[in-house]
């Protein structure tokens, strides 16, 4: 489905945007990059177990990052600077959102210091509210402290953030790329999935209304038309 067909105009409503980070705002999944380069275990096995319902996404991440035992924040950030780029149109989305007085938040299970580092490279990036686990790197592996869910019926961090904004009266736009984004897609008023992503495939297979996009220009279009 083309973004213009699904992303109806919400002019006249209070709008807010919630974005996933890894593989959405960034064209490369920072978490997968870190796990691929720095993990000493089979991190993909845990993702497969999560997909099959063996445990929660939070537990999947705990087990995956417990195998990153010989890295520092400096090591991780060097990888990020070498490989991670912001998806085209995102900086323009920040400008359009500021002009339209539309708040933007990131709801991500990514490493908080990586998110902050990448946003620090972007003009207006400091204006974005970040909801993500608190990260601590130790010799025994990376530990993640997850935020408590604050809304009734929330499944995970991402749809919880969408629900929080909706309770304040906002009409919600959401964009993501992975399986953990699906609850937020179902909760948002207008949803986007990155083309070719796990989220896009799942939405198409399950008949869930969600526009696809390769970059952030369709969302810029929603705010400016």
Q: Tens digit of pLDDT for each residue in 1-25?
A: 333 334 444 444 699 999 999 999 9
Domain ranges of the chain: 3-224
Burial per residue of 109-125, b for 16 or more beta-carbon CB atoms within 10 angstroms, e otherwise: bbbbbbbebbbeeeeeb
CB-based contacts of 74, cutoff 8 Å, min separation 6: none
Give the per-residue pLDDT at 3: 37
112-138 tens-digit pLDDT: 999 999 999 997 778 899 999 999 988
DSSP symbols for 179-221: GGGHHHHHHSSEEEEETTSHHHHHHHHHT---EEESSSHHHHH
Say yes or no to pLDDT of 46 above 50.
yes
- Residue 134: its pLDDT value, please? 95
pLDDT (0 to 100) of residue 225: 79
Q: Are 85 and 28 in contact (CB under 8 A)?
A: yes
Percentage of the residues of the chain whose pLDDT score is greater than 90: 82
What is the predicted pLDDT for the residue at 138? 81
| Mean pLDDT of the chain, nearest integer | 91
Alpha-carbon distance of 133 to 146, in angstroms, equals 4
d(CA 204, CA 210): 8
Instruction: Flag whether pLDDT at 160 surpasses 50.
Output: yes
Q: How far apart (Å, rounded) are the C-alpha atoms in residues 168 and 6?
A: 24
**What pLDDT score does 11 carry?**
42
Asked whether the predicted pLDDT for residue 149 surpasses 70, the reply is yes
CATH fold for domain 3-224: Rossmann fold (3.40.50)
For the beta carbon of residue 131, count every other beta carbon within 10 angstroms. Answer: 18
d(CA 25, CA 119): 10
How high is the pLDDT of residue 133?
96
The Cα 18–Cα 205 span in angstroms is 23
Write the CA distances from 81 to 3, 19, 74, 126, 131, integer angstroms: 31, 21, 10, 18, 22
C-beta separation of 19 from 204 below 8 A:
no
pLDDT above 70 as % of the chain: 94
Predicted local distance difference test score (pLDDT) of residue 8: 41
pLDDT above 80 for 62: yes
**pLDDT tens column, 190-204:** 999 999 999 999 999
Which residues contact residue 37 at a Cβ distance below 8 angstroms, ignoring those fewer than 6 apart?
79
User: Over the stretch 67-100, which tens digit does the pLDDT of each residue have?
Assistant: 999 899 999 999 999 999 999 999 999 999 999 9
């Amino acid at each position: 489905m083309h973004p213009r067909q699904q992303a109806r105009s919400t002019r006249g409503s209070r709008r807010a945007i919630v974005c996933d980070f890894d593989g959405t705002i960034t064209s490369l999944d920072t978490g997968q990059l870190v796990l691929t380069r720095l993990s000493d275990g089979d991190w993909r096995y845990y993702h497969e177990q999560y997909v099959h319902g063996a445990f929660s996404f939070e537990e999947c991440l705990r087990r995956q990052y417990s195998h990153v035992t010989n890295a520092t924040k400096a090591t991780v950030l060097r990888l990020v600077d070498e490989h991670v780029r912001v998806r085209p149109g995102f900086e323009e989305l920040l400008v359009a959102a500021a002009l339209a007085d539309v708040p933007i938040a990131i709801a991500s299970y990514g490493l908080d210091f990586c998110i902050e580092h990448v946003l620090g490279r972007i003009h207006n990036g400091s204006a974005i509210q970040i909801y993500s686990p608190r990260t601590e790197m130790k010799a025994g592996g990376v530990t993640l402290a997850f935020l408590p869910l604050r809304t009734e019926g929330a499944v995970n961090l991402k749809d919880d953030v969408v629900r929080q904004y909706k309770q304040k009266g906002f009409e919600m736009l959401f964009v993501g790329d992975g399986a953990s984004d699906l609850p937020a897609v179902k909760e948002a008023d207008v949803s986007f999935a990155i083309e070719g992503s796990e989220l896009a495939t799942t939405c198409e297979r399950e008949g869930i209304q969600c526009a696809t996009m390769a970059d952030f220009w369709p969302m810029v279009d929603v705010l400016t038309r």
